[in-house]
Amino acid sequence: ELIELGAVTFLVPGNFPFGCSPTYLTLFQGSDKDQYDPLTGCLTWLNQFSQYHNQLLRKELEKIRNLHPDTNIVYADYYSTTLRIYHSPNKFGFKETLKACCGTGGLYDYNLSRACGYPPLRQCCNDPSSYMSWDGIHYTEAVNRLIANVVFEELMNSIHSLNNLCPASTINKLRMIYPKSEM
């Protein structure tokens, strides 16, 4: 529908590794030890589900690309990007990968009935930038910044030029790119 309305460029994100989320780790806590990745502590079966979703998404995107060869569809691989951080958290400055910064205690600092920010829970960790999860559901600003940088870099490497993403007629009409005099 968006292509029919004239959209020519799409950035489509894949799923994150949900098996590393404090939410799901808490909900499925007590699973057999062999269901956890020994390197990351994430639930392998749930990460496999995320990967399967991403695989199907990529297949559908390829079908759309074939139907609309003049449309730019870029897949953002959130899964692999984030999993790199889980595999080497110290390299990226993270001390806590599976616990929520703003949480209620327990193994993963997450409780579905006592969400971050609502009474009586009004405190969080001392250094959110050292945590991957903000509240058990969302990533911290530090993780989002890393993901955005990697996705942007991969986006720039995957295109030959900006003109491939935004044809000159589109750029000029929508003023998506500033003229040289304004840069």
Sign of the CA dihedral with 125 first, then 131, 135, and 141 last: positive
Query: Which pLDDT value is given to residue 114?
Result: 79
Strands (E), the chain: 9-13, 72-76, 96-100, 131-133
Q: Which of 86-90, 109-113, 176-180 has the lowest mean pLDDT?
A: 176-180
In the chain, % of residues over pLDDT 90: 62
Q: What angle do CA 28, 33, 34 make, to 5 degrees?
A: 110
Confidence at 80, pLDDT banded by 50, 70, 90: very high
Reported pTM: 0.80
- State the DSSP code for 89: T
Confidence at 163, pLDDT banded by 50, 70, 90: low
| Nearest-10 crossing angle of helices 78-87, 44-67 | 150
Whether 110 and 124 have beta carbons less than 8 Å apart is answered as no
Whether 100 and 110 have beta carbons less than 8 Å apart is answered as yes
Confidence at 166, pLDDT banded by 50, 70, 90: low
For residues 2 and 8, give the distance between their C-alpha atoms in angstroms, rounded to a whole number: 9
Nearest to 76 by CA among 22, 23, 120, 11: 11
Query: Which pLDDT value is given to residue 116?
Result: 81
User: Between these two residues, 105 and 38, which has the higher pLDDT value?
Assistant: 38
